[in-house]
Amino acid sequence: MNGYQAIPELLRRHGSTTVFGVLGSSNVGWIGRGVADGTIRLVKTRHEETAVSAAAGYSRVSGRLGVCSATRGPGFANSLNPLASAVHYHAPLLLIVGESPASRDRTTQDIDQRTLATTLGAGFHHAADGDELESRFWDTIAAVERDGTPQVLSIGDGVLEGEVPLEPDVPREPRPRPAATPDRIEAAVEALGAAKRPLIVAGQGALLAGCRADLERLAEATGAWLGTTINVNRFFAGHPAEIGLVGQSAPEITKALLRTCDVVLGVGASLNDYTLDAGRLFGDAAIVQVEADPEHPRRATDEGLHLVGDAAATTRALLAAWTARHPDPRPAPPAPPTFAELAAAVAAADIGHDPARGVDLRALYAAMDARLPSDRIVVTDAGRTRSTMAALIDTVDAHSWLDSRGYGSVGLGLGYAIGAATAAPDRKVVLFSGDVGFMMASHDLDAIRLNDLDLTIVIRNDEQYGAERKYLAAVGLPPDLARQTLPDVPALARALGGDGVVIRDLDEVRDEHLAQRGLFILDVRLDPVTDWRPALDRARLPAGVPG
Amino acid sequence: MRGFQALPELLRLADATTVFGVLGSSNVPWIADGVYRGTLRLIKTRHEETAVSAAAGFGRVSGRLGVCSATRGPGFANSINPLAAAIHYHLPLLLIVGESPPSTDRSWQVLEQHALTDALGAGFHHAAAADELVPRFWEAVDAVAWNGLPQVLSIGDGVLTSEVSVPDRRPPVPARAAPPADRVVAAVDALAVAERPLILAGQGALLADVRADLERLGERIGARLGTTITVNRFFSGHPAEVGLVGASAAEATKRLVRPTDVVLAVGASLNGKTLDGGTLFPDATIIQCEIDPSVERRATVEALYLVGDARATVKALIAEWEARGLPDRPAPSPAAPTFDDLADRIAETDIGHDPRRGIDLRAIYRLVSQGAPADRIVVTDAGRSRATMAALVDARDARSWLDSMGYGSIGLGLGFAVGAAAAAPDRRVILFTGDVGFMMSSHDLDAMRLNHLDQTIVIRNDEQNGAELKYLAAVDLPTDLVRQSLPDVPTLARAFGGEGVVLLRVDDLDAAWLTRPGLVILDARIDPELDWRQALLAAS
């Protein structure tokens, strides 16, 4: 077969049938072939930024590889911000591009794609001719699967038109997923055995390895609390030992409990400054780190506690070694406050909100949490107004709670939400976005229309660059420059075949708004003055609730 | 003063009064200080892609430094595509960003900005400490002025809040060198024996503002005056002008310039498009005037490669011609058709247009060319339907005719138009864009509303990725995949405080739309089946 047929065929063999993309000369042929043959579903976006983010969101919700494509040169350049963001989060996605600088084709779309991709930290694989295509493809897949780092597959000039030999279609050998070495397993079990208050912290690596059940069993055996980084909020949703979010963004009530932990087992978590709250959370605790990538910065408190291995295999090895030493499980830890108890406390904290200035963001979150169907998928864009959302809106699991923030980029949430809506057409997907991030991506409200998707968007509209206020205040300047209104959002929604409403009081949110199919936008006018974050610190549990 | 006050002061000294940008933590203090003091106007955009393109458009229209700013990390990453496009065209702009990876600030917005900029080919200047701000700033400004290559100025962590001393005037502008005398002699030797010379002006000629000198030289040596596509209308109105030269030129023009025996290229890269894959001047002697000695050499012999400032070079050529006492040569003949004559022929050529399928785009171009105010500024986005525009829509000079194509990127036209509208608030800006490019940047229709700018947008709407059709046809695939409609454009325009209308027939185009204040969008449903380029071939 030729290259046009081979790429869709390789994607089919891998089980990847959905491609997010913007068409261009270097990708329209193979996408066209795959769509015509029924092996590919193309979800069109108006900008590559959205296509890449959508692949990340699709991957998160479906647990499968996210595939996206951009044309060479400008299309690739437009992909760099979401790619950098996906690199930061280890969002497993494959970006397929045409070769650039062109080696044979006559084109002006020249840009040094390999240097740009590798500078971001993504993998780059180039199939210079047809003979290389299949092996490069599977190399790329293996690299994504290793630790979730996004990979770029570059299709050389002439490959699409040329003959591409493919091996027979036989099931692939599962990739070996080794556990950490036995001495490290023993050292970790030793540390856990001495723990009075152990904590398991799951990060993105735990989600990618799908080891929730294994980690819960390990927690039940060792008497550990179960917490997550912000990347995988709600990973342990509903488990009696779950303590929720661990890190700087956790409520102070949770942080107070976390500070009592003496052994922390991080699984697939980078244990960065945010998770460790700049060293304030686990001052004297022993840290055991389970990490797939030996290159990753070491946070274990002792080299013997740095466990390099697959998260699921290592967790099972830890449980086996633990059970061999401790046939009887340790007692369960004191029950932490539930999600609902914490949420109520955060929502009730006095932070000086004045209803005359606009809606209370926390009340908005609480209303959505109460009114949306329980199998909802929620997505948040970056920005100041995101801080309390993880504590106030619940979902059934971490595959239903998406944060597009990446390395501090606004505007990628819409892409994530489009990916989520594609992955789960039967579930309610709600994007929460600030006004600035909303407008930045607003061209791709059109992707909802073009692909017949359902998406509800809640704009946390404070009519300003909220995050920039403090930088102006820091140098004694007034905040006026950071302020601007949104355009007429309901009209914008209608232009794109949807509908929308401006909400100045939460009583104005009607059930039919939340039940609307297609695109529906709620432009919620927030109190722009209140700093919401202190609610996390000031929240207090009512008497009688443990914690 | 402190760094956040020093930067606006430096911009004031550089005669830069407008900055296009998206605010973020690393740029909001200095932008706000300049705005609050009244020395700086901020044109807010919704995406950095627009801000960078707008600075390029502003620089083109105003002839001044285009300044834009993005915050570090994601803001910078969002600037990469328009930066690459600006590099391709040597559009003079300065992009001011915060340092990343951060050296002392606590931030997640980590990106290897220096390495990324190097990979694109732009200049990068990092002020690591407060005392480096002033020298790095002028170094960047001078580098932009040298050959129009975009430059990135990176402001180190802590610089904005540190004390900076700013001298009250700018350092002397570096001298502009003429090429060596022997090269000037060699060039005039070649021009003196030329029978059908052609002067070909590119972006470098525009940057050096050398039109009058080139026209004088052209009148001395009897040359035709042509331009690359980047500076279409540079010689607008001159009797010897032959218009656009290159692959995109009308066949009639190509025929006129094929007999050229000496080409004097000034600030033009003479790439495959300009030389039409080598078919335009296969046997001509090529003299190349270029400021950057590292640019690929196209001169026929080394002695005809003149490295120097375009204006200094052209003045030296005139001086040498006059010193030899050479007489003025006769004007070239036959005379080239005027812009309007050629345009009318192209517009009337039968290329199989069927009115039932949609509007003849050429008719729209001609109506705008004849009906819009004479001092209009026209901008085009990239795409298939752009092919005949350079030949059909006139503007009074090259600073009023903008092409955002860069290295083949669509969607940057709106940014160019935002910059043009900010540079010339009393002139009408008309953007022509395809439906795909229009939607790609449609978030920044909001920049019109936020900054009270006026603009008419004409969407060349063929309801498809027109340029991609041929790639599907080449492999016998159905073309449905590349077809899609636009949303409801008039409602979209109203959402942004503007007005819009769908044009189904040429007669629907009311000239009032070309002058109405604010944002006006014309969604012109063009015949999607035609290959407009054919009109350029057939018009001979």
User: pLDDT per residue over B497-511, tens digit each?
Assistant: 999 999 999 999 999
Rounded distance between C-alpha atoms, residue B30 and residue A474, angstroms: 12
DSSP B34-99: HHHHTS-EEEE-SSHHHHHHHHHHHHHHHSS-EEEE--TTHHHHTTHHHHHHHHHHT--EEEEEE-
Q: How many Cβ atoms from other residues are within 10 Å of residue B531's Cβ?
A: 14
pLDDT at A543 over 80: no
What token pair was written down for A401? 């709670």
pLDDT digits (tens, 9 = 90+) for B442-484: 999 999 999 999 999 999 999 988 778 888 888 888 888 889 9
Q: How many residues in chain A?
A: 547
Q: Do B108 and A78 touch (CB under 8 A)?
A: no
Q: Do B111 and A84 touch (CB under 8 A)?
A: yes
Q: Does A88 touch chain B (CB under 8 A)?
A: yes
Q: How many Å lie between the alpha carbon of B501 and the closest alpha carbon of chain A?
A: 13
Strand partners, A227: A201, A244
Q: Do B106 and A115 touch (CB under 8 A)?
A: no
Q: Do B28 and A482 touch (CB under 8 A)?
A: yes
Q: How many Cβ atoms from other residues are within 10 Å of residue B177's Cβ?
A: 12
Question: Are B528 and B464 a contacting pair, CB within 8 Å?
Answer: yes
- Chain A environment of B496 (Cβ under 8 Å): 487-488, 492
What percent of chain A has pLDDT above 90? 89
Strand partners, A66: A93
HEC-encoded secondary structure of B300-327 = CCHHHEEECCHHHHHHHHHHHHHHCCCC
- DSSP strands (E only) in A390-454: 401-403, 429-434
B-proximal residues of A, 148-167, CB under 8 Å: 161
Rounded distance between C-alpha atoms, residue B235 and residue A2, angstroms: 49
Mean local confidence (pLDDT), A127-143: 97
pLDDT-derived band of residue B308, with 50, 70 and 90 as boundaries? very high
Q: Do B85 and A35 touch (CB under 8 A)?
A: no
pLDDT at A387 over 80: yes
In a mutational test of the B interface, the residue from A409, A449, A488, A519 whose CB has the highest number of chain B CBs within 10 Å is A409
- State the alpha helices, DSSP H only, in B378-510: 389-392, 413-423, 435-440, 446-451, 469-474, 489-495
pLDDT at A546 over 80: no
pLDDT-derived band of residue B540, with 50, 70 and 90 as boundaries? low
Q: Do A492 and B116 touch (CB under 8 A)?
A: no
What token pair was written down for A48? 């590559």
pLDDT digits (tens, 9 = 90+) for B232-289: 999 999 999 999 999 999 999 999 999 999 999 999 999 888 999 889 998 999 999 9
Mean local confidence (pLDDT), A262-268: 98
Question: Are B245 and B257 a contacting pair, CB within 8 Å?
Answer: yes
Buried b / exposed e along A74-113 (16+ C-beta atoms within 10 A): bbbbbbbbbbbbbbbbbbbbbbbbbbbebeebebbbbbbb
Query: Helices B113-120 and A113-120: crossing angle, nearest 10°?
Result: 180
| pTM of the predicted model as reported, rounded to 2 decimal places | 0.97
Q: Do B409 and A410 touch (CB under 8 A)?
A: no
Q: How many Å lie between the alpha carbon of B196 and the closest alpha carbon of chain A?
A: 31
Q: How many Å lie between the alpha carbon of B7 and the closest alpha carbon of chain A?
A: 14
Residue of B nearest to A46 (CA): B440
Q: Do A443 and B442 touch (CB under 8 A)?
A: yes
Rounded distance between C-alpha atoms, residue A532 and residue A251, angstroms: 12
Judged by average pLDDT, the poorest of A454-463, B116-125, B420-429, B464-473 is B464-473
Q: Do A495 and B488 touch (CB under 8 A)?
A: yes
CA-nearest of B423, B179, B201 to B305 is B179
pLDDT at A545: 62
- Chain B environment of A489 (Cβ under 8 Å): 495
Question: Are A22 and A51 a contacting pair, CB within 8 Å?
Answer: yes
Judged by average pLDDT, the poorest of A164-178, A254-268, A312-326 is A164-178
Rounded distance between C-alpha atoms, residue A445 and residue A418, angstroms: 9
In chain A the first and final C-alpha atoms are separated, in Å, by: 64
Mean local confidence (pLDDT), A411-427: 98
- Chain A environment of B450 (Cβ under 8 Å): 484
Q: CA separation (Å) from B141 to A100, B11, B145, B150?
A: 30, 10, 6, 9
Mean local confidence (pLDDT), B95-118: 95
Element (H, E) at A306: strand A306-308
pLDDT at B502: 97
Rounded distance between C-alpha atoms, residue B181 and residue A420, angstroms: 67
Q: How many residues in chain B?
A: 540
Q: Do B488 and A494 touch (CB under 8 A)?
A: yes
Rounded distance between C-alpha atoms, residue A408 and residue A382, angstroms: 7
Instruction: Please list, in sequence order, all residues whose beta carbon lies within 8 angstroms of the beta carbon of residue B539, skipping any fewer than 6 positions away.
Output: B250, B251, B252, B342, B345, B346, B349
Mean local confidence (pLDDT), A176-195: 96
Q: Does A4 touch chain B (CB under 8 A)?
A: yes
pLDDT-derived band of residue A135, with 50, 70 and 90 as boundaries? very high
* Dihedral over Cα of A75, A78, A79, A80: its sign: positive
pLDDT-derived band of residue B337, with 50, 70 and 90 as boundaries? very high
Burial tier of B216 (Cβ tally within 10 Å: 0-12, 13-18, 19+): middle
Average pLDDT, chain B: 95
Q: Do A487 and B472 touch (CB under 8 A)?
A: no
pLDDT-derived band of residue A175, with 50, 70 and 90 as boundaries? confident
Nearest to B475 among A33, A107, A109 (CB): A33
pLDDT-derived band of residue A174, with 50, 70 and 90 as boundaries? confident
pLDDT digits (tens, 9 = 90+) for A82-113: 999 999 999 999 999 999 999 988 888 999 99
Q: How many Å lie between the alpha carbon of A414 and the closest alpha carbon of chain B?
A: 13
Question: Are A162 and A2 a contacting pair, CB within 8 Å?
Answer: yes
DSSP A351-392: ----GGG-B-HHHHHHHHHHHS-TT-EEEE-SSGGGTTHHHH
Q: How many Å lie between the alpha carbon of B43 and the closest alpha carbon of chain A?
A: 11
Strand partners, B43: B20
What 3-state DSSP class applies to A300?
coil
pLDDT digits (tens, 9 = 90+) for B45-93: 999 999 999 999 999 999 999 999 999 999 999 999 999 999 999 999 9
ipTM for the predicted complex comes to 0.96
Could you tell me whether strands B151-155 and B93-98 are parallel, antiparallel, or unpaired per DSSP bridges? parallel
pLDDT at A171: 87
B521 or A172, which is more confident: B521
